[in-house]
Structure 1
Amino acid sequence: MTGPVVTGVDGQACGTDALRLGRWLADSLGGPLIVAVVHAAPAALGSGRVDAEWVADRHRAAEAVLNGARESLKDAPGEAEYRAVASTSAAHGLHDLAEEVDASIIVVGSKLSGAKNRLFAGSTAERLLAGSQWPIAVAPQEMTASPGDHGRVGVAYVDTPDGRAALEEGAEIARRIGASLRLYTVVADQDSTLPFLVGADAEHAFLETARETYEESLRRAAATVSGVEVDWRLLTGNVVDALTELDEVDVLCCGSRGYGPARRVLLGGVSTRLLRGARSPIIVVPRSG
């Protein structure tokens, strides 16, 4: 995880949040920061001069956004490289850049139509997350806490290949920044588990068994982590609601989903909904293998 941290900005307010998160991740992971703006590439079929003039205008606009990013980071420690990338879309451009520089992670901001201090993934984030081979970090709008304030990295953990990939990523980040690591698993509450016809006694027994199974899974997972202080929490309730309300971690690492190509992010139900309302920055981790 020593490759560059590629941070995409587009001149909107959410880009400031992405810059804050990207700067912190670059400093924490010990890699360079690359700030990128993607602008339109020349069309394969264009009208020559008109197309060239339009592309030149888009390039000038991209440089203006980069100048704004420089201004935002002028007082921040550490160096940054600024790139204007020509591509057919922001997601493709950031993917291509990440591949070119062998990035460790791609960082973007949230869509502006979500609630303040919450994630609400826009089209660029969602397209990046559709098959990325790199972890994708998404910053909430108008983050109230600065990255690093909590000194804790969170992992949404289940004992699956995706959950173990998230644990590996979270543990590595925690080690590099000297933070503690906290694992979270959510067990459903009594009202949302089994149909009422099953009976209260059977439902209670089911919940107790599930809780014991999850607790043992968390203990085993925590025991595999070395070089960092680690603990775990078993939360009760709706899994998405419980995880989106977390505001005690600097970032929350989660897997994508339990199927699909190896080493690719392919969003599942939980990870998709987390990106619609989380209070903390989210890092969605590709499947290992």
Structure 2
Amino acid sequence: MTSPVVVGVDGGASGKDALLLGRWAADTLDEPLIVAVVHPAPSAIGSGRVDAEWVADRHRAAEAVLEGARTVLKDLPGEVEYRSVASSSAAHGLHDLAEEVQAEAIVVGSGRTAPKQRLFAGSTAERLLAGSHCPIAVAPSEMPASPGGKGRIGVAYVDTPDGRAALDEAAKLARRTGAKLRLYTVVADRESTLPWLVGDDAEHAFLDTARETYEESLTRAAAAVDGVEVDWQLLEGKVSAALAELDEVDVLVCGSRGYGPARRVLLGGVSTRLVRGARVPVVVVPRSG
């Protein structure tokens, strides 16, 4: 049974980035590609004629978006299925389609540049992060026409359930593609801490302990991955900014929740900030538990 890669587009500039990432992901994973646009479904309550005319207009807009997607992908190899989905929201429609086809992943753009006529308001990428049952891949702005080629999968790792889920997903992807795996953890640099609040010596001792703890955690995690060449790197700075600057991996896999027991070292909300500013595609693994 196949597990297609589903790409959600809405006519915005980031749709091209999502299409290029989706095409690459489907080819890399040897899975089918489905390009989908979600348009509003008829309202259960409302003026019948007005509602029908509005829905028909939105359906025509959705078909125009699909035609634009065909133009982007026309010169790229591989078969593509195009679908128009009626739903109450873009995220809901993509969720339903992904469950129907048992998708390998949903791919969307970062949404930093919205189309002039939006089919739905709000960020589809961020809403998808709230409840998807499959990984969400978010394409950065200005994706190259031929993504990949670095042969390395990155994973933002902390020894928590979500961090371990991200590592498992990244390891599966590395095994399927033959890529190497690199684990990243971020600790605050000394300039980002608060010695004026707790004292310079106490803060430095805390950071040294945190660094040792995370180095041990990374070493154990790397040793536990089978069938993949693994290394790790400890970064310094603000977690989302440090991870967003990475450019030596094909994709960066992360969990969907906040990171770590030490909140000043690895703050929550990382995945949301990361998908807005990362230089490489980000794959967010579904929430565990």
TM range (shorter): 0.7 to 0.9
Compared CA separation, residues 199 and 92, structure 1 to 2 (3 A): closer
Paired residue secondary structure (2:273):
helix
Which residues of 2 match residues 253-264 of structure 1 at below 5 A?
253-257=253-257
Deviation string 1:153-211 (CA, Å, 9 cap, x unpaired) is 11000000000000011111112122111100011111233423654444333322221
- The alignment of Structure 1 onto Structure 2 pairs a total of residues equal to 275
Alignment of 1:30 with 2:66, yes or no, is no
**Identity rate of aligned residues, in percent?**
79
Give the SS at the match of 1:210.
helix
Equivalent in the alignment of 2:247: 247
Q: CA deviation at 1:258?
A: 5.8
Alignment of 1:280 with 2:280, yes or no, is yes
CA displacement, residues 51-109 of structure 1 (integer Å, 9 cap, x when unaligned): 33332232222222112111211122221111000111111111111111111211110
| 1:108-152 Cα shifts (integer Å, max 9, x gaps) | 1022349xxxxxxx6111111122222111111112574213221
Distance 1:105 1:268, change over 3 A: farther
Is the aligned partner of 1:105 residue 2:105? yes
Distance 1:269 1:288, change over 3 A: closer
In structure 2, the partner of 1:188 is: 188
Residue of structure 2 in register with 1:168 after alignment: 168
Gaps of 5+ in 1: 115-121, 260-266
Aligned to 1:152: 152
User: Map of 1:54-73 to 2, 5 A cutoff?
Assistant: 54-73=54-73
SS in 1 for 2:107: strand
Aligned mates of 1:197, 1:18 — CA distance in 2? 44
Unaligned runs of 5+ in 2: 115-121, 260-266
Partner of 2:223: 223
Change (3 A) 1:113 1:64: closer
Is 1:91–2:91 an aligned residue pair? Answer: yes
Greater CA drift, 56-65 or 223-232 = 56-65
Matched to 1:164, the amino acid is: R
**Letter matched to residue 140 of structure 2:** P
Q: Distance in 2 between matches of 1:107 and 1:44?
A: 30
